Amino acid sequence: MPQVIGHFGQVDAVVNNASTFEHDGAASFSFAALEKHMRSNAGAAIVLAQALHAHVLARLAASAVAEQTGRFAVVNLLDQKLWNQNPDFFSYTLSKAALEAANTMLAIALAPQVRVVGVAPGLTLTSHLLSEEKFEALHKLSPLGRSSNPADVAATVKFALENASMTGTTLLVDGGQHLMKFERDFSLM
């Protein structure tokens, strides 16, 4: 945060998108895997939200300008997996569940200066675990016949950043995949 503020002079929002996504399950779970996922997927996002809040408070204290309620925001990228759980990517899912709970707590703690919103995409990008054909077939497994694409996710993040009345909630952008029960993670189906 200090480097970004040093370069741009101020920060109005943080989008926490980076995450660790490594496979484990109930049988292969370890504290080391959980700690790695929690550190990057939940802890880092919370620390960045704290840093934004401190920066906003300092700006408001140094300014004679009245506070603009709803202007400052944190958006945390989550996963539709939280509403459609399966035992794959166990530590990853636990860390995203912690971040989703942190959304609520941070929305309360950082108000009224900073809003906190979650965005939970469905299957959006392929990986080394899926062929292009398999990805396309899985992408269609939703009530709308398609999951999210990068433009959908970006538009939802933009909406969350611009909507000054939204905090403490999560927007699912997954074509309805969270409404369906999948026994495995998409990458292992």
pTM of the model: 0.93
- Specify the CATH number for the domain of residue 39: 3.40.50.720
Q: What is the mean pLDDT of residues 51-77?
A: 88
What is the reported pLDDT for 65? 62
Report the distance separating Cα 110 and Cα 107, nearest Å. 6
From the number of C-beta atoms within 10 Å of its C-beta (0-12, 13-18, 19+), residue 154 rates as middle
What would the pLDDT profile of 93-135 be if each residue is shown by its tens digit? 999 999 999 999 999 999 999 999 999 999 998 888 888 999 8
CB contact at 8 A, 74 and 49: yes
The number of distinct structural domains making up the chain is 1
Q: What angle do CA 175, 178, 180 make, to 5 degrees?
A: 95
Please provide the average confidence, as pLDDT, over all residues in the chain: 94
Where does residue 168 fall: left (phi above 0), alpha (psi -120 to 50 degrees), or beta otherwise?
left
What would the pLDDT profile of 7-52 be if each residue is shown by its tens digit? 999 999 999 999 999 999 999 999 999 999 999 999 999 999 999 9
CB contact at 8 A, 107 and 115: yes
Residue 162 has pLDDT above 80, yes or no: yes
116: containing domain: 2-188
What is the reported pLDDT for 67? 64
Binning pLDDT at 50, 70 and 90, where does residue 64 land?
A: low
